[in-house]
Structure 1
């Protein structure tokens, strides 16, 4: 069990650092689109979780440590639906309701489609 805990911790650190770097890069290049980093990591995370889930279904011999480290740790640290909620609220509070609505719909629908696409990729 300690191996799984260590794998999740290492994966979480890596995912969190990638999310932090993405946020900094988006803020430096497109500060008016601060929500772009959250959208990007959520859709990417959904694509990856769909792909990994499908891969782990067809390759059950992959060690639990690796599976937990990638899905619970890395993707748990990378994806940020709590930040999604805050970004949406900030858009609404700043009077940008159409952008907030589009952002919410794109995040949810894009995430679902990306998860499906990731799962389909494992079946190719």
Structure 2
């Protein structure tokens, strides 16, 4: 069953990535890949921190979401290829893309982790008041 979930979430992640790529404008700066990868960093940190604490979700389900959805949603290989190609034509854009990806990815992870922590605190408070 785990592999079925992994495939299912992988398909959803790939479709979400493709949909976002279609909606964002094509520019010399790889905005779509940057946006997708930053969102993926946020989502993975959020998933790892928040979803694992939900009582009805198993750790395998959380792993399937993280690996399947986020893994197929984001892409390091596209980042590397775009960085390599950009560095041949416009070193400044390539450098800003790489820095934005690295620093933005780390900040997105911190934000996802902190937001999940805040929601967990609220979730636990609601559970305490309901009992």
| TM category, shorter | 0.7 to 0.9
Give the Cα–Cα distance (whole angstroms) in 1 for the partners of residues 29 and 95 of structure 2. Answer: 15
Q: Secondary structure at the match of 1:31?
A: coil
Corresponding residue to 2:53 among 58, 63, 67: 58
How far the C-alpha of 1:50 sits from its partner, in A, is 0.8
Corresponding residue to 1:102 among 77, 96, 114: 96
Q: Give the alignment of 1:1-124 within 5 angstroms.
A: 3-26=1-24, 30-33=25-28, 35-59=30-54, 61-94=56-89, 96-124=90-118
Q: Secondary structure at the match of 2:79?
A: helix
Query: Unaligned stretches of 5+ in structure 2?
Result: 119-131
Give the Cα–Cα distance (whole angstroms) in 2 for the partners of residues 13 and 5 of structure 1. Answer: 12
**What is the TM-score when the length of structure 1 is the normalising length?**
0.86
The CA RMSD over aligned residues, in Å, is: 1.6
Equivalent pairs counted in the alignment come to 118
Higher relative CO (CA 8 A, sep ≥ 6), structure 1 or 2? 1
**What is the TM-score when the length of structure 2 is the normalising length?**
0.82
User: Is the CA contact (8 Å cut-off) linking 2:10 and 2:71 kept in structure 1?
Assistant: yes
* Structure 1 range deviating more: 30-39 or 76-85: 30-39
